[in-house]
Amino acid sequence: MRIAVLYFDGCPNHVPTVARIKQVMADLGLQVGIEEIKVTSPEDAQRLRFLGSPTVLVNGVDIEPSAQSRRTYGLSCRVYDGVSGLPSEERIAAALQSPHQPA
């Protein structure tokens, strides 16, 4: 399993998101490294399909199912489930446990 957190410098939700992912992994008994990828330009955002900071990918797939149809890439803050800049513990756990995640 590969977990990546894409972010830009100064994002207030980057570090708390990584901490939340680590807590959910510990709760699930998972030991996986988290790759943190800094996005520095609009070109990088487009290439990486960066929907805002922080973006969490599990095996290259965004943890938010509705993100698959979005194309608004750029250096902006991200809101999960229309409510928070942090993905919920439930959203993270669902993505980590999904049998539909490609290996």
Q: Can you give the residue ranges of every domain in the chain? A: 3-97
Model-level pTM?
0.91
pLDDT tens digits for 42-76? 999 999 999 999 999 999 999 998 888 888 899 99
Neighbouring CB atoms inside 10 A of 60's CB total 10
What are the pLDDT digits (tens) for 27-45?
Answer: 999 999 999 999 999 999 9
Six-digit token string for 83: 């409510």
Domain 3-97 has CATH 3.40.50: no
Say if residues 74 and 42 touch (Cβ distance below 8 Å). yes
Q: Residue 99: its pLDDT value, please?
A: 62
d(CA 25, CA 56): 14
| Banded model confidence at residue 103, pLDDT cuts 50, 70, 90 | very low
